[in-house]
A and B are shown apart, each in its own frame.
Chain A
Amino acid sequence: MKQKFDIITSTCVPLPLENVDTDQIIPARFLKATTRDEKFFGDNLFRDWRYDKDGQPRADFVLNDPTYGGEILVAGKNFGSGSSREHAAWAIAGYGFRVVISSFFADIHKNNELNNFVLPVVVSEDFLAELFASIKADPKMQVRVDVPNQTVTNLATGREERFEINGYKKYCLMNALDDIDFLLENKDKIEAWEERH
């Protein structure tokens, strides 16, 4: 959903697993929708880790643990690998996450998050390990993500890191603009390219 980004301060949901693939984020059988219904995808986020085969919540999965909540998902390295399905980003957004913090993201999924106004924040391995420890010690601890200044802060320890985002995408996020708006404004350049080829 298009929404403007500025500073987000929130508690976190920890998922300290590596190589979380988009098949886990949203299994293929939920990809048959023909509309972009974020609530439907959000309800099925991490479906097979979250519910058993009878549809009952699995008590040991973090989304079913009332201790944790918030707008920030913190995940192990190589988050979003595998399938290009944008439904994974819709599910994350539909569930209510606005930021995903990890030490490494898969390329296609990272773009998909950005195109859906979910901010992927890449931090160092150290920062991530400390953040998982902070959340474990105090599930109510908060993280501040400052988009204008491109900083992420563990408010339990005060540790801060700068994260990368290109100026164009930052402008889009802060002003709730998407790429199609931009491309349509540049139709003359597209036609000029075609003339040359």
Chain B
Amino acid sequence: MNTLFDKIWDAHVVQNVEDGPTQLYIDRLYCHEVTSPQAFEGMRSRGLQCLRPDHIFCMPDHNTPTHDQDKPIEDPVSKKQVDTLAKNAADFGLAHFGMMNKKNGIIHVVGPERGLSLPGMTIVCGDSHTSTHGAMGAVAFGIGTSEVEMVLASQCILQQKPKSMRININGKLGKGVTAKDVALYLMSKLTTSGATGYFVEYAGDVVKNLTMEGRLTLCNLSIEMGARGGFIAPDETTFAYIKGREYAPKGEDWDKALAYWKTLKSGEDAVFDKELSFDGADIEPMVTYGTNPGMGMGINEHIPSLDTVPESSRVSYIKSLDYMGFAPGDQLLGKKVDYVFLGACTNGRIEDFRAFASIVKGRKKADGLVAWLVPGSWMVDEQIREEGLDKVLEEAGFAIRQPGCSACLAMNDDKIPAGKLSVSTSNRNFEGRQGPGARTVLASPLVAAAAAVTGVITDPRNLI
């Protein structure tokens, strides 16, 4: 009780349905092209209009190609889905940032960077990585398409209140250890279902000292532990990030908002349903070796042997390692890498490009390796060029593509071929996630950069 989660949730309760869920008011609904068309179709068939169109923002990101965005999308099915979103937004009177609009990008990158996602808000989107916006001090979570339709129609959603969990990460992170590694470490400890049913508040010195980009990465991956969402109480870092952004409050509204945001923290006496603590010093650069994000380990470690796996899980475990072409006891260090993917709502922000550039600077891309560097938005792309990172990357043999979700889930042309091994900064290493038969190792931008210049899995600390 008296947690920040309770405060934000309780402030949005329209009613508690008897022996049922809570009817929760939603401040912000984001729609992308993949999980919204059937919701709009449902609205039409019921003859409904959106209750609060000014609370809703739409943009395509999953299908968008990462080249030649000024030309029509070649794949007719992708084109239809992207065009359908534009038409739905127009028909229902909603804001829409289409391809080539300078505000376009991955919805979870754009929301925070444009000042649309703010502390204390409830935010939903038909996308599990909506948890990203929790970094702003918001209660943000992914929903299904039927639920998108609920929000379009009523600006509300019916949800069971999740339990609360606080995860404290204390101390300091070592050299070459990033927010991505913290998240992969937590998943490796909690498994992909360890936080199911919970809403997580991240706290502790490590979290306090993360930049906003790092916090967005950490919160983004909450869903990969099964959590409904994850968030961080807003502080001076948050306020400084938001101030002046396009949709952020201005003038008197800013002062008023800031005064409220400063109250958004868990009480000293807050009681969580579960509380866990970790030491940042125990975390190393991480890699995954299996086919779910919980199958991760420190980059120098060996894949766990079969006898460490519970008997009921062994069939799944063996299936997973067979798919990856790895064996228990293997080390990943030195394994040949075919592809590197930098991007996604997890690691497609300016800081991720800075990190990648810091390793490849003065080095060259490994022969034969294919690298896809995909900014999370046009704003990130612009920053990359302003800071001259594009020159550093180009000199090292890397090209920057156009923004979108890209190879994270391979709904556009950016598919890793079957059997190829990719080191990816994205969020999921599921079978076929990056293309049928593709094998994915999840890692930080530093680990990805180290692989990109050496052609094998390499500890980035040796290159810093």
Q: Shortest beta-carbon distance, A171 to chain B, in Å? A: 8
Q: Which residue of the partner chain B has the closest CB to A167?
A: B19
Tell me which residues across on chain B come within 8 A of A16, comparing CB atoms: 315
Contact-size category for A = 35 or more
Cβ A84 vs Cβ B153 within 8 A:
no
If A35-B37, A180-B150 touch, whether A17 touches B432 (CB-CB below 8 Å) is no
The smallest beta-carbon distance between B73 and chain A, in angstroms, is 11
B258 on the interface (CB 8 Å rule)? no
Number of A-B residue pairs at CB separation under 8 A: 194
| Identity of the chain B residue whose Cβ is nearest the Cβ of A32 in the assembled complex | B77
Report how far A59 CA is from B197 CA in the complex, Å: 36
CB of B260, distance to nearest CB on chain A (Å): 11
Number of interface residues of B (CB under 8 A): 71
Say whether B69 faces chain A, with CB atoms less than 8 Å apart. no
At the interface, yes or no: B215 with Cβ under 8 Å from chain A? no
CB contact list, B69-123 vs A, under 8 A: 77-78, 80-81, 84
Q: Contacting A107 at CB < 8 Å: which of B77, B145, B196, B432?
A: B196
When distances are taken between beta carbons in the complex, the residues of chain A under 8 Å from B188 are none
Interchain CB contact under 8 A, B196 and A104: yes
Indicate if the CB atoms of A24 and B430 lie closer than 8 Å: yes
**Which segment of B20-28, B341-349, B357-365 sits at the interface?**
B20-28
B20 touches A82 (CB 8 A): no
Q: Kindly identify which residue among A83, A180, A186 contacts B14, using a CB–CB cutoff of 8 Å.
A: A186
Q: How far is the CB of B92 from chain A (nearest CB, A)?
A: 15
Contacting A190 at CB < 8 Å: which of B14, B62, B80? B14
A129 CA to B312 CA, complexed, in Å: 9
Most buried by B among A29, A34, A89, A180: A34
Q: Mark B424-442, 1 if CB is under 8 A from A, else 0.
A: 0000101111001100000
Q: Mark A159-197, 1 if CB is under 8 A from B, else 0.
A: 000000011110000000011101110110110111001
Query: Can you list 19 A-B contacts with CB-CB less than 8 angstroms, sorted by A residue number?
Result: A18-B312, A23-B431, A32-B63, A34-B80, A77-B193, A82-B192, A84-B144, A85-B144, A87-B145, A104-B196, A108-B142, A111-B144, A112-B144, A112-B145, A125-B312, A168-B17, A180-B46, A186-B14, A197-B25
Which A residues form the contact surface with B (CB < 8 A)?
Answer: 16-19, 21, 23-24, 27-29, 31-36, 48, 53, 76-78, 81-87, 89, 104, 106-108, 111-112, 115-116, 125, 129, 166-169, 178-180, 182-184, 186-187, 189-190, 192-194, 197
7 closest A-B pairs by beta carbon, nearest first, are A168-B20, A167-B19, A86-B144, A115-B146, A34-B37, A112-B144, A183-B154
